[in-house]
Amino acid sequence: MNSSTHDTEFDYIVVGAGSAGCVLANRLSASPNVSVLLLEAGKDAEPFWVRTPAGVGNLFFNERLNWKFFTEPEANLGDRQVYWPRGKILGGSSSINGMVYVRGFASDYDRWQAQGNPGWAWSDVLPYFKRAEHNDYGASESRGVGGPLHVSFPHRQHPTTEAFVRAGAAVGLTRHDDVVAGGDAEGVGYLQHTIGEGRRWSSAHAYVRPVRQRTNLAIESEAVVTRLHLDGRCVVGVEYIRRGQSRTIRARREVILSAGAIGSPHLLMLSGIGPPDHLQEMGVRVRHALPGVGCNLQDHLAINACYEVRKDASLNAALSGWHKYLNGVDYLLHRRGPLAIGASHAVAFVCSSTSIKVPDIQLSFRPLSFAFDSKNKLRMHTFAGVQFASAMLRPRSRGQILLRSPNPFDAPVIHANYLTDPDDMRVMVATLEWTRRLAATAPLADMVVREYLPGENVRSASEVVEFIRRSSQTLFHPAGTCKMGSDSLAVVDERLRVRGIENLRVVDASVMPTIVSGNTNAPTIMIAEKASDMILEDARS
């Protein structure tokens, strides 16, 4: 723990110190009359490659900091098991992600409200986005300053990134200075990142580091929560194992699950809350039948395209050979240069067809290219290259999380069910068409030497579909498995209380009824900001 306390009771127990859990620990413990325990299965650490923005590649397969989940074989992706990295460290996936800051569209949140979730419209959530931010864009109607989370543009943009943005404008996209402010229109512009002072600004760094000496906040790392303790339909505490020792802690007010779209439904089912037939099949006593637990799984499927470009049009050389050591010294001395920037540098939001009114494709661009070798080590391509990560934003396909066994240390079963809805393949084909269109448009086209991936041998409709099936990957945004709503599959209500259970909430990306149109880290932080107010309001009432 971060203090000498050995209390067996706390007012609030937060399970999972990821993007949401760290926010809750900060905001709930701001009241000196409230005691908070934050439990994290991973390490309480911030090693060099976590702090350093360009260290993402070193975290991607790091089993000490990463759960390293895999889906089950995906029938529509050539029976491949898709790798799903998730953070196992204080800060959760915000400590290992690409640091891209995207909120989604205003219509995403208006849709949540229309689905039976009052209080979650864009006008309701915008103040919480602003409260979280310290944005170098400056204060405005849509942007905030003074919040814990540093959000910034890189100190310098690469000329090839500017060429991508100008190519987008050339094909008719509106160039936005603030492309992710919350509008619903097609557009192109530079991306911001959760980076401050040249370092990753994870939720742990933003929300926990400044307050970890509060006497009413205890942090227990390497603590795997194995089940919830229930007294009838009321949650009264949790059981966890740390370094082989089991411990039970009681919650005087609430237990809050913030273990993510995989971990939160997994723990509910281990505790007997979930689809009754599945629980009985697994030998778990049914404490409360809630059929939607683990259902409604959504994720952003993406394809990566790579182009060889002129030697001066890529960062590959700067990140390879002796150049990378020079840039390393520059970073250590000044916190700048290629090691101080996030994964993707610019973005275009586009529509898959003229009948679509709100963009359903995200084209992220980076002025560098790489691949992982057979030992899962990131290697820059030996040629000068650039990459697109092109994603379908609002998939119609739905997956499910299930128990593998009653053993809490067995990874859950993940059925992503990618491309089970035929329209999703249409959108994926359109993502590649858009990528090729931008790469063939000046001034970006003037820099391109050749298409490396998919390559010139992927042209016909059948070849494109086959490429998507064998090459597409997750964009690492699982959501929706404890959906908010009032229908038969809803797990939590609009105040994120688990339906039919007292003193239990879920606060993380799993509560999204439909996935947002963009990266999920900023929306997850927003959800926790809003939840903290609701929790304290309910306590006062």
> Which residues belong to the annotated binding site for FAD?
97-100, 225
Greatest Cα-to-Cα distance within the chain, rounded to the nearest angstrom: 68
Contact yes or no for 419/473 (Cβ under 8 A): no
Q: For residues 35 and 504, what is the distance between their CA atoms, to the nearest angstrom?
A: 16
Residue 300 falls in the annotated catalytic set: no
Nearest CA-CA partner of 464 in 422, 426, 418: 426
Q: For residues 17 and 310, what is the distance between their CA atoms, to the nearest angstrom?
A: 44
Q: For residues 385 and 419, what is the distance between their CA atoms, to the nearest angstrom?
A: 29
Q: For residues 490 and 484, what is the distance between their CA atoms, to the nearest angstrom?
A: 6
Looking at residue 82, what DSSP letter applies? P
148: helix, coil or strand?
Answer: coil
- Using alpha carbons, list the distances in angstroms from residue 444 to 346, 350, 435: 13, 18, 11
Candidates 158, 205, 278, 477; catalytic one = 477
Element (H, E) at 48: helix 48-51
Q: What angle do CA 438, 441, 157 make, to 5 degrees?
A: 70
- Using alpha carbons, list the distances in angstroms from residue 530 to 158, 193, 527: 36, 21, 5
Q: Is the peptide bond preceding residue 454 cis, with omega within 30 degrees of 0?
A: yes
Query: How does DSSP assign 357-391, residue by residue?
Result: SS--EEEEEES--EEE-TTS-EEE-SS-EEEEEEE
Q: Where are the beta strands (DSSP E) in 243-345?
A: 245-257, 273-274, 288-289, 301-309
Annotated binding site: 97-100, 225
Residues forming the active site: 477
